[in-house]
Structure 1
Amino acid sequence: MADDDPRTTLAQLAQAGGHSLAALSAMLGRNPAYLQQFVHRGTPRRLSERDRRLLADMLGVDETRLGAVARGPALVAIPRLALAASAGPGAFVDNELTVGSDSITPALARYLGLSADTAASIRVRGDSMEPGLFDGDTIFVDLTSRNPGPRGAVHVVRIDDTLMVKRVARLGNRLVVTSDNPAAGPVPRGAVTVIGRVVWQMRAPR
């Protein structure tokens, strides 16, 4: 048996702690030969979750040393805003309420530079940003990125009282707001407030 095999580990830990396998079996409420068979005959092939937890507590080790699957890092929950960002006519904005969250891995959050305090997820409505964004897509918005450059990027903006997702570029002192879909109607005129830059999207299979 390899040194990192749970059976080898259990035998070594029991010996180091001065515990017999029979005594540990009794602690589990099993017959005295239970852990002897596990260590030397491989029966059962794996310890039950209950037995593994009790043994790990008794021996003062992490359950992974006795065969538990290592748990991955906790996901990062990005707050989901109740209102949809329109890629069409626009969604009227009264206030933005958080309704649940969308989770991403810590690695992706680091790659995107997002945290639960500096980002939001929003559901896209409409087709004016096709083919990049489709109706029903979930977008992740960096709320700290509010200064579009001259080359332009996709941002969530508020135009007067309408929340929209559009391509925004800065030309001199003004913001130019456009749709990616040539068939889309004109972008409404009005005061533009940049909410944040779209940095990621999720799309359900079609």
Structure 2
Amino acid sequence: MDDSQQARIALDRLIAERGENYADLSRLIGRNPAYIQQFIKRGTPRKLDEDDRHVLARYFGVPDAMLGGGAAAREVAPDSRPRGVPASAPALRGVPSVVAVPRLALGASAGGGTLDDDERAAGLMAFDVRWLRHLGVQPQRVSIIRVDGESMAPTLSDGDDIMVDHDDDARRLRDGVYVLRLDGVLMVKRIAIGPLRGRFSVVSDNPHYPDWADIDPALVDIVGRVVWTGRRLH
């Protein structure tokens, strides 16, 4: 078995173990959706491009050699990396360095509430590393979650994608929009810090939905703060 065949087998095993899919990983490296499947199933191309291999190895957290790289992996030349992006950031072809953010297979309810019994990655979204740092977040500590319901309208609408900073939790709690668990239900709500020390209210921006005033913090599990939202135009 040659190195290229071993690389295809290793990549296919990683994809299956992590619950990923060929199309999302192809988009991550800036290729057409069928690219990874063709590489694994047909051996086309015979070897991954070096830039593609570096990004995939870094995403899966495996040695470059596992995916067909030599013992001495190629280093990106300093002048080929955008200014301000560290050497550890993966470089993609023709675009600034980006990082893959998992899109979780669950919805944070902005309505009556949904149980989060399927908290696993359902895909990937790629973001510019510098832009994430401008937001003040660590790329490895954010995820994308879909909003279900209208209780946070007009701030958030049903179907919006929100980026959640999991480092911004109860230890740093302040006024803002958060994903939280209340009575075992995952929801996205506004938190308003109250005048009493340690107490806060859980608020729906839509006045037609209920609020929880002056709540005991012990009843709420803060998942993270919402730092960005994106939506599809209709």
After TM superposition, the score normalised by the length of structure 1 is: 0.60
Q: Distance in 2 between matches of 1:153 and 1:173?
A: 15
Q: Confirm or deny: 8 A CA contact 1:90 1:163 kept in the other structure.
A: yes
- List gaps (5 residues or longer) in structure 2: 1-76, 78-92
Which residue is equivalent to 1:92? Answer: 115
Q: Deviations over 1:43-63 (max 9, x none)?
A: xxxxxxxxxxxxxxxxxxx9x
Q: Distance in 2 between matches of 1:145 and 1:122?
A: 16
Q: Deviations over 1:99-140 (max 9, x none)?
A: 222222223211112334211110001000000100000000
Task: Say yes or no: does 1:197 pair with 2:225.
Answer: yes
Which residue is equivalent to 2:155? Answer: 132
Q: Confirm or deny: 8 A CA contact 1:140 1:200 kept in the other structure.
A: yes
Q: Distance in 1 between matches of 2:156 and 2:107?
A: 13
Which residue is equivalent to 1:81? Answer: 104
Which residue is equivalent to 1:184? Answer: 209
Of residues 126, 130, 134, the one that matches 1:107 is: 130
Q: Distance in 1 between matches of 2:101 and 2:209?
A: 30
SS in 1 for 2:131: helix
Q: Distance in 2 between matches of 1:186 and 1:167?
A: 9
Q: Distance in 1 between matches of 2:233 and 2:121?
A: 25
Larger radius of gyration: 1
Please report how far the alpha carbon of residue 185 of structure 1 lies from its aligned counterpart in structure 2 after TM superposition. 3.6
Q: Report the aligned-residue RMSD.
A: 2.2
SS in 1 for 2:140: coil
- The residue identity in structure 1 corresponding to 2:128 is T
Which residue is equivalent to 1:174? Answer: 199
Q: Deviations over 1:24-75 (max 9, x none)?
A: xxxxxxxxxxxxxxxxxxxxxxxxxxxxxxxxxxxxxx9xxxxxxx722232
Q: Confirm or deny: 8 A CA contact 1:76 1:109 kept in the other structure.
A: no
- The residue identity in structure 1 corresponding to 2:137 is L
- The residue identity in structure 2 corresponding to 1:137 is D
Q: Confirm or deny: 8 A CA contact 1:94 1:161 kept in the other structure.
A: no
Structure having the higher helix fraction is 2
Q: Deviations over 1:121-162 (max 9, x none)?
A: 10001000000100000000111111322xx10000011210
After TM superposition, the score normalised by the length of structure 2 is: 0.53
Q: Distance in 2 between matches of 1:103 and 1:72?
A: 11
In structure 2, the CA distance between the partners of 1:81 and 1:187, relative to structure 1 (3 Å rule), is farther
| Counterparts of residues 114-153 of structure 1 (less than 5 Å) | 114-146=137-169, 147-149=172-174, 152-153=175-176
Q: Distance in 2 between matches of 1:195 and 1:133?
A: 17
Q: Confirm or deny: 8 A CA contact 1:121 1:140 kept in the other structure.
A: yes
Q: Confirm or deny: 8 A CA contact 1:78 1:115 kept in the other structure.
A: no
* Identity between Structure 1 and Structure 2 (%): 41
Residue-pair matches, total: 136
